[in-house]
Structure 1
Amino acid sequence: MPHLIDSHAHLDFEDYRADLDAVIARARAAGVERVVLIGLWRAPGDFGNALALAAAQPATFAATVGIHPHECAKVPEEDWRAMEAAARDPRVVGVGETGLDFHYDLSPREVQEASFRRSIQAARAAGKPVVVHVREADEACARVLAEEGVPPAGGVIHCFTGDWARARTYLDLGLYLSVAGVVTFKAAGDLREAVRRVPRDRLLVETDCPFLAPVPFRGKRNEPAHVAHTAAQVAELWGTTVDEVGDVTSANARRLFRLG
């Protein structure tokens, strides 16, 4: 059985309220040893319960704290200060997801960029890695990261879906790349070629659940157990075993997030 870490999951979403224990049991049965929960701002004074879940089950969960580009225009200053304070909590392993999303543009682009910069600065001040969301905004994202500088603790482009040229840009900035179920999709040939070429010590695997379930679960609710299918696709691309992919990507996740 592989030893896997799902490096990006949203198990504090309402999608799992009724069956979280069963979801966790299935993850363990599939070889998932740790899950990084992404704690995001939801409403004034509310960052969800990712940190509470991680505190209750530290052997299973770790948590980040962040402000998503979709929501950043709504966040009051007091919640920004609360996020920056939470980032310094020793139980928090990263800042984000933050970044730029020019597909939906749910927040104005200039507000997204300001939020992204402030989040990078918060990660640097806290000594934590930054977790980056980017959609249809790679040029702007790379520019901001180059101008601000990736925090010394590092960072990851979560749910990377680009080609090798985009991968190389982020790798050259010193970032890790994390792939989700998209790598199993029929149309993702450019992504698969990028994964084939990414240095093995710079790749993570994730679900981004409840989104982006891999084949054969595409279109259904995703969950951490399904990261094994993403790892299997990576193993095929690397010409190795799922166990080896699990060992390598889990070591990378532990190094990035300082997981015990």
Structure 2
Amino acid sequence: MSSLYDASGIIGIFLASLLASQLGETHWRLLFWLGALGGVIGVIFRKTAKESPEFVPTPFSWRVIWQERRLLSRIAVISGFSYANYYLVTVFLNGHLPRISALTPSDALRFNTHLLWIDFLLLLGFGALCKSMRKEKLMLFATLATAVLALPLFATFDHAPHGISWGHAALIRLIFVTLGAALAAPYHAWKLDQLPSHNRFLLGSLGSTLGSQLFGAPIPLLATYLVAQTGLTWIAAIPLVILALAASLLLRSSATSPAILSSSPPE
């Protein structure tokens, strides 16, 4: 269910990208109306959906956030690593590859669309895999593999003997998307295991948002700055490696001391 939740978001982005490429220049108003209709349908679903039996709503509380700061930090770092990985191989490489190779911006963007449907299938596949292996092991494998592979893989962009081909760039991006899907597929199930049910939405959404905005969103800018200062592409992967190592340590600690035990339900 966690992988299906994530995959549904990816397929939505894929459809938006596909429709924009086909209709964006001539029927862009129609696309905005379709987007608005999707929002209305979402509101209807949200208003009519029933909460899970164990959910007890609680008011916003700074005290709860402070008490659960370690849990929030854990979710933020792991969520941030996931976003950083995707932003680095999509946003950053979309702009950087045309500068260092014969690839055009259209080539980079075209493969982005392919990455979306590949990511959709990978998410479903890794979700099914979690039926036969622990999700924490899969997530830990994804973070450790990224930490080990990121620098040498990005270094190939600096030392390609015959230049950077479409296949070379596609393979590197596909490896990172695969590792990203391995972490993202069970992420929501892992997060729910960590969260006390009475503060699930507050802590879960806040932790994920902090991660995406503090660690994920700045990655393209930081990577561009590092490359501009050094002239080396591999150095752009250093922030991702740091996040991957931090996420690995936090995943190991979460397996031995789940945060769900740290909170008691409201009286």
Higher share in strand: 1
The structure whose Rg is larger is 2
Which interval holds the TM-score relative to the shorter structure?
under 0.3
Higher relative contact order (CA 8 A, sep 6+): 2
Higher share in helix: 2
